[in-house]
Chains A and B, each alone.
Chain A
Amino acid sequence: MSDERHMAFICSKGTLDMALPALVMGWAALGNGIDVTIFFTFWGLDIINKHRVDHLEIAPVANTSMKMSMMGVPGNLGIPNIVGVLPGMTAFATKLMKDKMKALEVPPVREYLQMLVDAGAKLYACKMSVDMMGLTKDDFVEGVIDIVTAGDFIDMTEGAQIIFI
């Protein structure tokens, strides 16, 4: 094992808001010369699924942090769950978040992933999840190195700082 700092992220969620932490922190780590490995498991596979990556969403239902203030209404008024279940509310919340990301010059997830790969991040898919969801390597975006077992991941991240998302 080298003395060089190594960070490993485990992405287990496939919602738009939960896709971003590993991308943002991974990019920052790469920019600071730190090796980065990202392991996508369970719903996190959506982030590297080429049919899904452009369609990650965020639902307002049961999301107590998503307040009306995001839409310019002052205070702590929440989005009532009964409103959140209306058709189109998830798409609406997703568009709102994507617009806010765009305004901050945050690239879309597909492009962000490519930046990380180009900067040297190593991406892996979890074998058990891949088997469970009936996926193959062809379903993933370019840059995903391999489908590996949990044991492989543990081996390849010896000494790394591991962050579970």
Chain B
Amino acid sequence: MVAKTIAGKTVEVNEEGFMTNPNEWTEEIAAEIAREEGIPELTADHWKIINFCRQSAGASGKAPTLRQITVGTGVSTKELFTLFPKGPAKKVARIAGLGKPEGCV
């Protein structure tokens, strides 16, 4: 684990760049990680997904899988892959300040 400054705040991240303490997360951190991931601006549709992931992880302790996200938010697979192009599984989890999703579907 290393300390990293994101959006002016020092947070702990693991070797893959995932934040290790979800409580250190802020919306500004999400926006900055999103830019790193090639998403220039987080829209309301992005936030709907990020907020769902935060709530889901808050309840279960684990980042939700892509299917749990589509089932839980009503966002279609196509939309999810358009909002977070090229690998939404890790991108969404990183932006939401969570660990890598555990689960295969």
Q: A-side interface residues toward B, CB under 8 Å?
A: 24, 27-28, 30-34, 104-107, 114-115, 118-120
Distance in Å: Cβ of A5 to nearest Cβ of chain B:
10
Given contacts A24-B104, A106-B105, A107-B105, contact A33 B66 (CB under 8 A): no
Taken together as a complex, chains A and B put the C-alpha atoms of A33 and B78 apart, in Å, by 14
Taken together as a complex, chains A and B put the C-alpha atoms of A27 and B67 apart, in Å, by 10
Given contacts A28-B104, A31-B89, A119-B81, contact A105 B76 (CB under 8 A): no
Contacts of A120 in B (CB 8 A): 81
A-B contacts counted at CB < 8 A amount to 41
Contacts of B90 in A (CB 8 A): 31-33
B87 contacts A by Cβ under 8 Å: yes
Top 3 nearest A-B pairs by Cβ distance? Answer: A33-B87, A31-B89, A118-B77
Given contacts A31-B66, A119-B77, A120-B81, contact A105 B105 (CB under 8 A): yes
Taken together as a complex, chains A and B put the C-alpha atoms of A104 and B11 apart, in Å, by 34
Given contacts A27-B105, A31-B87, A31-B89, contact A105 B67 (CB under 8 A): yes
Contacts of A30 in B (CB 8 A): 81, 87
Given contacts A105-B67, A107-B105, A115-B67, contact A32 B81 (CB under 8 A): no
